Amino acid sequence: MIHEQTIREAAACKGIGLHSGVEVNLRLRPASPGSGIVFRRTDLDGFEVEATGRNVARVSYATSLMKKGVLISTTEHLLAALMGMGIDNAIVELDNLELPILDGSALPFVEMVQRVGVRKQRRRRSYMRILRAIELREGNKFIAIYPAESYSVSYSINFPHPLIGAETYTAELTPEVFRRDIAPARTFGSLEDERVLRNMGLIRGVSQENCIVLDRKTVINGSLRYPDEFVRHKMLDLIGDLALLGRRILGRVIADRAGHAMHTAMVAMLLRNRTLWEETIPEEGREEVASHPLPVSLRTDN
């Protein structure tokens, strides 16, 4: 059987929030089986906010959680790292409202997990087995999940920048693939958008050390880690947002220019409708999924 996992011992890091610009200390702690990922605000008497779609607060330029007025902001990179590395249970302590952006990717969080190691737990891991196709559309944006025997993701983007344009990346989500091919992909932004976003009270902590910075033609702060680093980072965000389902998916995810709002809309739809999936505890190497003919489709034109 496949068992749940946590980290072997605590690991810590510190940095600044991408949007708030505030300093924050983060400590990742082991957690008991069945507890999931829980954020704990040490500056607010240890108030806890569970990493679930039911606590999603706002998702404009990052995914934030809120419970009883307590905010946890920019959760997607850490959640992607934990999902990608197979961590089911962990406590995330932080002393401010926003997680540190670090280098703009999930790699520093992956390295935290690697430094302390992974511990297998006695509880068997349950999966969300997708039973039939689920599709969401909003204009030219699209996200869908289809029945499959494992967890795979395909993401497409199309930016009107000569260095980006149309990119598609597909991956089978395993710890090795995530660590090597997805986790190092950094967030990105353009100088043209900087003033607008700062006027909105965003990206106060952005720098050339934690973001790929583009002018109208090229990257101005070094070379890319991958030729298609932009779409890989969007896949990273998607994996982190879908971690708010609270369990690993058995399904094939396809997204086209979706973004945080559509990612979390898919999470909300799945959590609301238990006819779309079933909880299953597969044996090692036997993650079979039945196929069902009728898709569920929702179009939103806002």
Residue that has been written with the tokens 């952005």 in this structure: 206
Q: Count how many Cα atoms sit within 13 Å of the Cα of residue 291 in the half-sphere of its side chain.
A: 4
Q: Which of 237, 260, 239, 207 is nearest to 61 (CA)?
A: 260
CB 274 within 8 A of CB 123: no
Annotated catalytic residue, options 19, 77, 260, 263: 260
Q: Which two tokens stand for residue 258?
A: 């979706």
C-alpha to C-alpha distance for 138 and 140, rounded to whole angstroms: 6
Residues in the chain: 302
The DSSP bridge partners found for residue 47 are 41
- The helices-and-strands tally (H runs, E runs) of the chain is 6, 20
Rg (CA), the chain: 18
Burial 57-69 (b: 16+ CB within 10 A, else e): bebebbbbbebee
Three-state DSSP at 110 gives helix
Q: Which two tokens stand for residue 111?
A: 């390295």
C-alpha to C-alpha distance for 123 and 191, rounded to whole angstroms: 48
C-alpha to C-alpha distance for 117 and 190, rounded to whole angstroms: 37
C-alpha to C-alpha distance for 181 and 151, rounded to whole angstroms: 15
Active site residue 260: yes
C-alpha to C-alpha distance for 187 and 236, rounded to whole angstroms: 10
CB 62 within 8 A of CB 76: yes
Task: Cite the active site residues.
Answer: 260
